[in-house]
């Protein structure tokens, strides 16, 4: 893969991370920006992960690959889970909350994770789903031929939409509340549809890495048309992986695809002329931004009355500062935010953690 392609991928990830932050804006908007973002931004992350997936040879052991991915994803997961929880509990106790049952109930939701972990933990579901998506796809590509891989993916997609139909159309009401009537640990049921987006990134790698102008034009025009129709209330489409809101099997493929092609194509073109260093810098801090930005808002909105722009700038800025502080001043900070090649605590030097 050329340096240019790596550049556009990093820039795209930085842009998508900004959209993640914007997507959690707690206020109301007079236009459907958040709806547009949810149409594609999470599928795009799974597609990008699929782009860089490397299948194992038949004689290559799975254990090493799984352990490496486990370390990369779960070390930051538990690090930020611990940090955020400690801060929350210290503040809760300082404000007079001495109800032990509240802390126990709160801890139980953190153990279950996924869609049950709300508020400051709103993004944690992505890590667990990505990890199990990776494992499942690793198994598919190692033990099944291409025909059976597609067969399993089709079954997963069908089951995912049956479940979503049950949540959205049978249970009804708010998807956030309805989805919680299905008690699945760590949102593992979302792996069913995430696996399909991941696979699309892998199987259509050449298409995504070399987006042609005719395809980009068609997808861009289609994306703009979909946005316009939604703006005038002529296109009622919603997508939320976390809360199992993907009950339109056709559009759940088409809409993310056309938007992903549009965004990837834009950055493939732009990075031919400029490296977009600001977005690359944001991508470098993306782990901390992902885990911290909601907590930043939870604290800052007590002191500031901000709109979308102020919210985005403040959450990005403080999260970036937090990332730099962790890397520079926290012992083993680089390791705790996902760099498993960095210096690590003695605990993690045992065979159990060495990849």
d(CA 8, CA 267): 6
d(CA 133, CA 139): 10
- Does residue 175 contact residue 244 with C-beta atoms inside 8 Å? yes
Q: Token digits for 262?
A: 């549009």
* Alpha-carbon distances, residue 133 vs 100, 127, 128, 341 (angstroms): 36, 10, 8, 23
- Does residue 340 contact residue 65 with C-beta atoms inside 8 Å? no
Per residue of the chain (355 residues), what is the pLDDT tens digit?
444 457 899 999 999 999 999 999 998 888 899 999 999 999 999 999 999 999 998 888 899 999 999 999 999 999 999 999 999 999 999 999 999 999 999 999 999 999 999 999 999 999 999 999 999 999 999 999 999 999 999 999 999 999 999 999 999 889 999 999 998 999 999 999 999 999 999 999 999 999 999 999 999 999 999 999 999 999 999 999 999 999 899 999 999 999 999 999 999 999 999 889 999 999 999 999 999 999 999 988 878 888 999 999 999 999 999 999 999 999 999 999 999 999 999 888 877 777 6
Residues in Cβ contact with 318 at an 8 Å cutoff, skipping those fewer than 6 apart: 292, 296, 300
């Amino acid at each position: 893969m050329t340096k240019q392609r790596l550049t556009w991928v990093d820039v795209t990830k930085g842009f998508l991370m900004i959209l993640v932050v914007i997507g959690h804006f707690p206020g109301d908007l007079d236009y459907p920006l958040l709806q547009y973002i949810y149409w594609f931004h999470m599928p795009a992350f799974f597609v990008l992960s699929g782009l860089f997936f490397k299948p194992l040879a038949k004689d290559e052991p799975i254990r090493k690959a799984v352990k490496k991915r486990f370390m990369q994803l779960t070390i930051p997961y538990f690090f930020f889970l611990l940090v955020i929880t400690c801060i929350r509990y210290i503040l809760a106790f300082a404000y007079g909350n001495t109800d032990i049952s509240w802390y126990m109930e709160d801890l139980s939701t953190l153990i279950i994770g996924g869609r049950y972990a709300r508020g400051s933990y709103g993004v944690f579901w992505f890590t667990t789903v990505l990890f199990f998506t990776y494992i499942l796809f690793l198994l598919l590509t190692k033990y099944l031929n291409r025909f059976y891989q597609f067969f399993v993916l089709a079954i997963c997609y069908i089951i995912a939409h049956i479940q979503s139909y049950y949540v959205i159309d049978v249970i009804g009401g708010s998807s956030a509340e309805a989805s919680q009537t299905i008690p699945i640990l760590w949102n593992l049921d979302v792996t069913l549809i995430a696996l399909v987006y991941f696979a699309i990134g892998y199987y259509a790698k050449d298409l995504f890495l070399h987006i042609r102008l005719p395809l980009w034009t068609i997808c861009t025009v289609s994306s703009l048309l979909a946005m316009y129709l939604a703006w005038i209330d002529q296109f009622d489409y919603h997508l939320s992986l976390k809360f199992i809101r993907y009950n339109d099997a056709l559009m759940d493929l088409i809409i993310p695809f056309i938007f992903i092609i549009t965004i990837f194509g834009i950055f493939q073109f732009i990075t031919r002329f400029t490296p977009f260093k600001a977005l690359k810098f944001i991508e470098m801090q993306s782990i901390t931004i992902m885990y911290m930005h909601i907590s930043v808002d939870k604290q800052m909105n007590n002191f500031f009355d901000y709109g979308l722009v102020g919210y985005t700038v403040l959450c990005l800025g403080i999260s970036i500062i937090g990332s730099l502080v962790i890397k520079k001043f926290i012992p083993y900070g680089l390791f705790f935010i996902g760099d498993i090649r960095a210096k690590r605590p003695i605990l993690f030097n045992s065979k159990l953690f060495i990849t």
